[in-house]
Amino acid sequence: MGRHSCCYKQKLRKGLWSPEEDEKLLRHITKYGHGCWSSVPKQAGLQRCGKSCRLRWINYLRPDLKRGTFSQEEENLIVELHAVLGNRWSQIAAQLPGRTDNEIKNIWNSCLKKKLRQRGIDPVTHKPLSEVENGEDNNKSQHTNSLDMLSGASSELKLNTDNLKPGTTLYEQRPTSSITAPAPGYQLEMEGCSSSNNLMTSTTRKDLFLDRFASTATTTNSQPCDFMPHFPVQQLSYASTNPRLSPWFSQSEFSSISMSKLLPPLTTSPFLSSPIGFNPSVTLPSHTPSMPSFTVNNSYTWGMADCSTSEKEEAPIHLMETQPDEMKWPEYLNNPLLMAAALQNQAPQSSLYNIEIKSETHCSTNTKSLSNSMWPQNQQPQQQQEGLQNSDMCAKDIQRLTTAYGHI
DNA sequence: AAAGCTTCCAACCGCCTGAAG
DNA sequence: CCTTCAGGCGGTTGGAAGCTT
């Protein structure tokens, strides 16, 4: 195993790709698509194995790659997602359009881990280093903190989800260390912040969770909260117990979702075993519930996702006011909240989901082009790259060219 | 200027999974 | 079932580039 049989064949090149090889591969895939990767090298006239071609395409040649340096928002998002998903780089990458898992893994290992440690956070557990060093006892206290949060007297669950993107698989995760759902009547509140300085003082519970990852969901009644029963305790609570993390969660704008009822674990969904990327033309089966119709073509308009959204467009979107079969499969699968709503609709006893999405003003640029990672054939809409980003991009491209041509 | 050290990242390696025969 | 193959993922590494002394 490991190296594929093709790789054992002689004459296969290894190491850095030359510009000529890049051109061959790019031309071939642009013209014919990749099809079976193992046949690509032969068809493209490359002395590489298919795996190497695939990697080169995914990590470098793909036209929808963003390149450029990571924005603060992207770094924040990576940290947040890592707290929930761990080293599942591909799933993290799915939340950052135009970024590859390799790229994210690299920036995590080279940069973000260091930054977290500097802030006194253990990058593995996302707990304060002092707690990690102290071992078991602190695990206990951490658990207590988390339970405190989960069983707080306040009765709202607020999740910020303005960065909820297509391909999100958050609810599919089954971390080994799981929390149990709060008892009926208990409510979570994990409210995001809009300012790095007042993060821990501006919210009623001062608990923070994925401020740009999930919409703000509010439970308003005593329905059982089995919405996210599988998040590791320490991961849910790390930000809340670590004010030092606040700089990571600054400048978040978020939208809010309020749900009259929390949702069952999505693993009950028959959808979830499906891969993320599939044919966008596949329509929902007839039994699928009515779903919101705020997705248009392959471009995600997740309520707030359009960064140019004006104040007028901030009117709540009532998910129930939709037509059957308007949604396509990818739209379900790329959006856990929609999925959740669908599932909830499927449940016999849950007839009404008063899901409300309130769009707030501007969102960061990295929320754009949400479909890119999912539908690479789509040309990325004109990225509204700011001047700085453009210069970053140019600098990196120049650097890459230098690297590529320098050793010829 | 040169040597040594550090950082970064592209690419490889090894493993896993699922499909096909 | 078993084997083979291909795709995919996460961990690791080699070397170029940058920095320090």
The pLDDT of residue A197 is: 30
Q: Which residue has the higher pLDDT, A72 or A336?
A: A72
Rounded to an integer, the average pLDDT of A350-360 is 28
pLDDT in tens, A144-178: 332 232 222 222 223 333 333 333 333 333 333 33
The pLDDT of residue A134 is: 65
Q: How confident is the model at residue A143 (pLDDT cuts 50, 70, 90)?
A: very low
State how far the Cα of A27 lies from the Cα of A44, in Å rounded to an integer.
8
Asked if strand B comes closer than 7 Å to A14 Cβ, the answer is: yes
The pLDDT of residue A25 is: 92
State how far the Cα of A85 lies from the Cα of A89, in Å rounded to an integer.
8
State how far the Cα of A150 lies from the Cα of A280, in Å rounded to an integer.
38
Asked if strand B comes closer than 7 Å to A139 Cβ, the answer is: no
- Strand C: list positions under 7 Å from protein Cβ: 5-12, 16-18
Residue listed under structure tokens 């790789």: A7
A64 neighbors A28 (Cβ within 8 angstroms): no
Tell whether the model's pLDDT for residue A108 goes beyond 60.
yes
Q: How confident is the model at residue A370 (pLDDT cuts 50, 70, 90)?
A: very low
Asked if strand B comes closer than 7 Å to A362 Cβ, the answer is: no
Q: How confident is the model at residue A104 (pLDDT cuts 50, 70, 90)?
A: very high
Tell whether the model's pLDDT for residue A36 goes beyond 80.
yes
Question: Max Cα separation, chain A?
Answer: 68
Q: Which residue has the higher pLDDT, A18 or A303?
A: A18
Give the predicted TM-score (pTM) of the model.
Answer: 0.48
Tell whether the model's pLDDT for residue A282 goes beyond 90.
no
DSSP state of A370: T
Task: Output the average pLDDT for chain A.
Answer: 50
DSSP state of A167: T
pLDDT in tens, A372-397: 333 333 333 333 333 334 444 434 44
Rounded to an integer, the average pLDDT of A262-291 is 30
Residue listed under structure tokens 């590791």: A232
Domains detected in chain A = 10-63 (1.10.10.60), 66-128 (1.10.10.60)
Name A residues 141-160 whose Cβ lies under 7 Å from strand C.
none
State how far the Cα of A66 lies from the Cα of A110, in Å rounded to an integer.
19
